């Protein structure tokens, strides 16, 4: 089978001999002053090229022309549409896209059919530059001139569909947000949580400014209180944020729980010390049920004292053994 180079060789030889013979026939031979041996040489050369094995040479010429036409036909440019190509904007580190823009587009391309057939749309990424754009709501026009896509040599991007997309671009902020412990399950009926302390109390959160400004607290994962009957610490509890575009920079906290007997309020009428017998004070105490139910009112003392400003004020004296466990909710002279 003949190659393109061999075809060009035969065409070149044919042109030289053909034009030589035409020239030879059009002009008198005496002007060339060719000797008889020279004339005999050219006649033999002409016969060898065009007459000997002419059938085989004709077949070779036909095959060569067919191959040339075939190759030229395959390289004829075509236009086609590539669907589901990933669209990826480039933004600066202090910006975030907060809406849900188009993530896939279709490309209309023109080029060699063989090269286009080798393109896999899932391997392509169409990118466009928003690194110098300020925070705003905008409509971005997509054209072959302002996007980047890696196409084979000889394949040209003609159109992008859709060619307009809506984008909301926001600045990114970082702020410390309080942490709130989320609980599940319950303590036994006679117990309650006296206090719960989150360590650290605040964590750093980075995200779009509108979300960060609306964030009052960061919740923890659920902490199970089932079967807890005394103080305990939940270690390395994970945190949750509802916005996928926000990032928690401190990912876990400890939560310390103080658990004790359920508390109640109890009212006492206590006579004022060193006053007339019928003058009494109302005292409301808050503390564990078993302690308050066992307090003898006579063990409580209320007296009038001078405060730091020199004014009279009431003071309740509790038994030493319950001072750290009982809270005074109210102290008032009747």
Give percent of the chain above pLDDT 70.
82
Q: Considering the domain boundaries, does residue 167 fall inside one?
A: no
Read off the CATH number of the domain in which 134 is found: 2.170.120.30
- On whether both 53 and 89 belong to a single domain, the answer is no
- On whether both 70 and 86 belong to a single domain, the answer is no
Higher pLDDT, 34 or 296: 296
Q: What is the DSSP letter of 244?
A: T
Instruction: Choose one of 162, 193, 226: the last residue of a domain.
Output: 162
> What pLDDT is attached to residue 303?
86
What mean pLDDT do residues 243-248 have? 89
- On whether both 247 and 313 belong to a single domain, the answer is no
Read off the CATH number of the domain in which 185 is found: 2.170.120.40
Instruction: Choose one of 114, 135, 162: the last residue of a domain.
Output: 162
Q: Considering the domain boundaries, does residue 205 fall inside one?
A: yes
101-104 long-range contacts, CB within 8 A, separation 24+: 101/165, 101/166, 101/167, 102/162, 102/165
**95-106 pLDDT tens trace:** 999 998 899 999
288 vs 146: CA distance, rounded Å? 72
Higher pLDDT, 69 or 77: 77
Rounded to 10 deg, the angle between the 36-50 and 4-26 helix axes is: 140
Specify the range with the lowest mean pLDDT, choosing from 42-46, 81-85, 126-130, 142-146: 42-46
Instruction: Choose one of 212, 232, 261: the last residue of a domain.
Output: 261
Question: Is the Cβ–Cβ distance between 131 and 92 less than 8 Å?
Answer: yes
- State the chain's maximal CA–CA distance in angstroms: 165
- On whether both 181 and 238 belong to a single domain, the answer is yes
Q: What is the CA radius of gyration of the chain?
A: 48
- On whether both 256 and 176 belong to a single domain, the answer is yes
Give percent of the chain above pLDDT 90.
56
Angle at alpha carbon of residue 76, lines to 159 and 110, rounded to 5°? 10
- On whether both 215 and 228 belong to a single domain, the answer is yes
> What pLDDT is attached to residue 277?
56
User: How does residue 18 score in pLDDT terms, banded at 50, 70 and 90?
Assistant: very low
**Per-residue pLDDT for 28 more than 90?**
no
- On whether both 227 and 147 belong to a single domain, the answer is no
**Per-residue pLDDT for 19 more than 60?**
no
**Per-residue pLDDT for 82 more than 90?**
yes
Q: Considering the domain boundaries, does residue 103 fall inside one?
A: yes
Enter the tokens of residue 126: 């169409």
97 vs 211: CA distance, rounded Å? 12
Structural domain containing residue 115: 77-162
Average pLDDT, the chain: 84
**161-180 pLDDT tens trace:** 999 999 999 999 999 999 99
CB environment 271-305: b (16+ within 10 A), e (fewer): bbeeeeeeeebebebebbeebbeebeeeebebeee
**Could you give the number of structural domains in the chain?**
4
108 vs 144: CA distance, rounded Å? 10
- On whether both 66 and 85 belong to a single domain, the answer is no
- On whether both 250 and 294 belong to a single domain, the answer is no
**Per-residue pLDDT for 316 more than 70?**
yes
> What pLDDT is attached to residue 3?
45
- On whether both 139 and 123 belong to a single domain, the answer is yes
């Amino acid at each position: 089978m003949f190659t393109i180079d061999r075809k060009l060789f035969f065409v070149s030889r044919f042109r030289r001999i053909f034009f030589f013979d035409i020239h030879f026939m059009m002009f008198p031979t005496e002007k060339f002053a060719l000797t008889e041996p020279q004339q005999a040489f050219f006649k033999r050369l002409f016969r060898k090229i065009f007459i000997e094995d002419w059938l085989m040479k004709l077949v070779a010429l036909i095959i060569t022309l067919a191959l040339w036409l075939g190759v030229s036909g395959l390289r004829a440019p075509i236009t086609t549409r590539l669907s589901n190509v990933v669209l990826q904007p480039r933004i600066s580190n202090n910006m975030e896209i907060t809406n849900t823009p188009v993530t896939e587009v279709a490309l209309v391309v023109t080029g060699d059919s063989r090269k286009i057939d080798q393109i896999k749309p899932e391997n392509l990424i169409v990118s466009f530059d928003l690194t110098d754009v300020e925070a705003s709501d905008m409509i971005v026009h997509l054209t072959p001139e302002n996007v980047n896509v890696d196409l084979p040599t000889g394949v040209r991007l003609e159109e992008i569909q859709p060619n307009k997309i809506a984008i909301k671009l926001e600045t990114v902020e970082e702020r410390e947000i309080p942490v709130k412990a989320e609980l599940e399950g319950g303590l036994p009926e006679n117990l309650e949580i006296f206090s719960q302390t989150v360590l650290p109390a605040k964590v750093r959160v980075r995200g779009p400014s509108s979300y960060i400004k609306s964030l009052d607290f960061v919740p923890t994962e659920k902490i199970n209180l089932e079967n807890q009957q005394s103080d305990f610490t939940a270690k390395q509890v994970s945190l949750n944020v509802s916005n996928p575009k926000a990032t928690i920079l401190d990912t876990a906290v400890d939560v310390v729980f103080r658990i004790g007997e359920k508390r109640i309020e109890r009212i006492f009428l206590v006579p004022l010390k060193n006053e007339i017998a019928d003058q009494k004070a109302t005292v409301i105490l808050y503390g564990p049920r078993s302690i308050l139910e066992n307090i003898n009112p006579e063990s409580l003392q209320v007296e009038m004292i001078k405060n730091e400003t020199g004014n009279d004020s009431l003071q309740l004296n509790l038994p030493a053994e319950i001072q750290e466990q009982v809270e005074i909710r109210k102290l008032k002279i009747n």
